[in-house]
Amino acid sequence: MAQSSAMNIRLMAVAACLAGSVQAAPPWVLTTRGYGPVTPGLSVPEARRLLGTRLHTFEQQPMDPDCDHLYPASGHPGISLMVQNGRVTRIGADTPDTATRSGVRVGDTAESVRRRFGDALEIEQHKYDDNGQYFYLWETSRQRGIKFEVIGGRVVTIYTGDESIRLVEGCA
């Protein structure tokens, strides 16, 4: 009986230690792989299921499967999905409600992003704003990445996806 009680105490102590050291990753963060479980390549029904909400176009019109942008009806403020040929290719965030895995949010300074990622960033001039830039962070394969759109020294939008993150005018 005493052995059983001692064993139970040891098991509870181990469980308490493990519980304190294991932290679940936040499920809805932006990474080079996507937004939570929503990844480039998914069909619109798959993305809708994973987001747990209806998706709609900006104009509330039927989706153009060749090229359109969809927005979750609830639960994911500031998130948009670019759809090309019926598949999600890019996910965007334009509010500070969502962060990258490393903690970057809309509203952060360009300097803080530069400090965080250093030479890993590929920096390009903004297409429409002389004071703006695009900061790209690519996976080694360069097939997926994150783009930070910077205007006025602050991140205004974060995109994750395939090479479509380079697009600046919809799907063109």
Kindly list the structural domains of the chain, giving each domain's residue range(s) and its CATH number in brackets, ordered by start: 30-166 (2.60.460)
Q: What is the structure's pLDDT at 89?
A: 97
- Give residue-wise pLDDT tens across range 102-141: 999 999 999 999 999 999 999 999 999 999 999 999 999 8
User: Strand 122-125 to strand 87-93: parallel, antiparallel, or no bridges (unpaired)?
Assistant: unpaired
pLDDT band at 161 (very low <50, low <70, confident <90, very high): very high
Query: pTM here?
Result: 0.83
Residue 67: C-alpha distances to residues 30, 89, 166 (Å): 22, 10, 15
Q: In this predicted structure, what is the pLDDT of residue 172?
A: 77
Surface-to-core class of residue 133, CB atoms within 10 Å of its CB (0-12 exposed, 13-18 middle, 19+ buried): middle
Q: Give residue-wise pLDDT tens across range 11-70.
A: 343 333 334 434 444 479 999 999 999 999 999 999 999 999 999 998 889 999 899 999
